A = this chain, B = another copy of it.
Amino acid sequence: MTDPKQERSRATRQRLLETTIRCLAEHGWEVSTVGFIAAEAGISRGAVQHHFRTREALILGALEHMFEERAALLDALPDPESGPDRIHTVVTGLVEAIGGELFRAALQVWTVAAADPELRSAVVPLERRFARGVHRRAVRLLRVNDSDPEMRGLIQATLDLARGLALADVLTDDSHRRARVVRAWSTQLAAALAAAGAAPSR
């Protein structure tokens, strides 16, 4: 049986991390102090400090949590049957999982880290690990041979495109334009994957 006190503590930690992500995405870095996040989560500052001793620890914990959420989104994507629209469905799923609130929250952290060497040195190893996890999932979903450097480059390009599209959605609702861009990209990617599949010894 789970200790009810441990269970409560885990639920508090979870609520705190989700509130941190929402606060960063909606209110930005400057507003998202420990005091503001604690109040938004309905948790005392003391309880916050029990879980995370410093603001930096809370922010890094939230980044880790964002990645777990995104990984869960990617793992939950349906694996469509082969067919002309398979690549389009997968790319749409990747773009949705990489963008949205998780992206907007992470953007706040990256942007501050860009001009803050201490935060940057804490964020970079996390980001490397996250990037590997997303890449691995994209390879699985797209069913490509990742040892082919050209295919590897196209997977990376697709993930860079997804981040560029997420950025374009930060100031305005870009969903209509994004759907067209994803469609155009998917058509090219499907052609490239078909050509690589047809010439595996290449």
User: Which residues of A approach B to under 8 Å, CB–CB?
Assistant: 25-31, 104, 107-108, 110-116, 120, 123-124, 127, 149-150, 152-154, 156-157, 159-165, 167-168, 170-172, 177, 180-181, 183-185, 187-189, 191-192
B181–A114 contact, CB under 8 A? no
State the copy count for this chain.
Answer: 2
A69 to B26, CA, bound (A): 31
A159 to B181, CA, bound (A): 10
> Given A161-B161, A167-B164, is A153 in contact with B123 using a C-beta cutoff of 8 Å?
no
Please indicate which of the listed interface residues A115, A159, A165 has the most CB atoms of chain B within 10 Å of its own CB.
A115
Residues in B neighbouring A104, C-beta threshold 8 A: 114
A160 to B157, CA, bound (A): 10
Nearest chain B residue, comparing its CB with the CB of A30: B30
A183 to B152, CA, bound (A): 11
* Distance to closest chain B CB from A192 (angstroms): 6
Residues in B neighbouring A116, C-beta threshold 8 A: 28
